Structure 1
Amino acid sequence: MTNFQELQNSWLSQPVENNTIDHAAHVVQDKWEKHQRKLRRSNICMSIGFIIAGSVITWVYFTYHNEYNWPFDMSIASAFTLMVVFAVLSWKSYDFKKDQRDISGIEYLNNQIGKLKWQKKMLTKYMWIYSVLLYLALVGYIVEITKRGSLLFTLTALAITTAYIAAVSLWNRFYKQKKQLKMIDDLIKDFEQMRSGIE
């Protein structure tokens, strides 16, 4: 028996109309699985992007590191490290345990709620930290590689980078993340209601 079947049976044992509970449990489970598929697809795309970016960064470093000083090395190392750490944290919010036969319905719900809360923290907190640190790494990189050019060239490169990162961050915050946070909050609420119904 799977953890979902165990949870469903626990709900069905409650003195409430069975078909209503059965339907509600299936709706929540379907929403959770759909959300997990979206998260998996997003994390895979992000990981592929990071692998490509990491390969380019590595090539840039080994090709040009003799021409620049320590800010170049620090910015490259920071950007590379940030991508690895962010990818690991993003995958931490994904539930790899598809068939959790060894845990009870309450533990199963607590696990899903924990994963959702971690996803929410990633969106509301760690995404901003990542963006700021990546921006600082790019500033160090830009200043170092443009120092032989004019001040106007350096300032233009910084302005373009700042505008791009700000635009992407604001778009994520007010469009993409808004939808994701609503879905996460709805799922947390559903799972918490299910948990309180069987406690």
Structure 2
Amino acid sequence: MKQILNYFAYGSNLHPLRLQARIGACQVQSVAQLEGARLCFHKVGLDDSGKCDIVQSAQPGSTVWGVVYQITAEQKILLDHCESLGRGYQILHTEVRSADDQRLPVFTYQAMAEYIDPQLQPFDWYHEFVFHGVCYHGFPVEYREMIHAVNMIKDPDSERATHQQILLRELRKSFESKQAD
């Protein structure tokens, strides 16, 4: 029997099509919240743009919305590679509150201190991955507005941007078809 892990996605992996493109089919367990944390786009990506990170926050009501995916140990190895484990992100074992108010043990990725630059901004396509995931899962309007308001920059690498736009078109279609149902 395969070992199943609870992965908490909160950034560009929120949308199931994005995650599936990276590691194959996986199951959504629940929308969830990581309480006492806030979302930042300050993690230095391999492309030198800002990527998502979670930071502890003492601010009342601060929470990071995400999705708990059930993945296999083999898929985690693929995801570790995609997330630059040890070269930007480290594993964080924590607990989240699911939509049905259950406490779920999860693992997620958190930026290593030496890979944080508060001056960074995400590329427009990366921001769009995050925003489509937030919309797809129906996160609260306030959270959606916060994500929408994040400043972003255009990717100077047009080939990379074009490649990412291909998958984003699929995400848009998926969201539109979900809205039609």
Normalised by the length of structure 1, the TM-score is 0.26
Structure having the higher strand fraction is 2
Larger radius of gyration: 1
Normalised by the length of structure 2, the TM-score is 0.28
Task: Answer 1 or 2: higher relative contact order, Cα 8 Å, separation at least 6.
Answer: 1
Structure having the higher helix fraction is 1
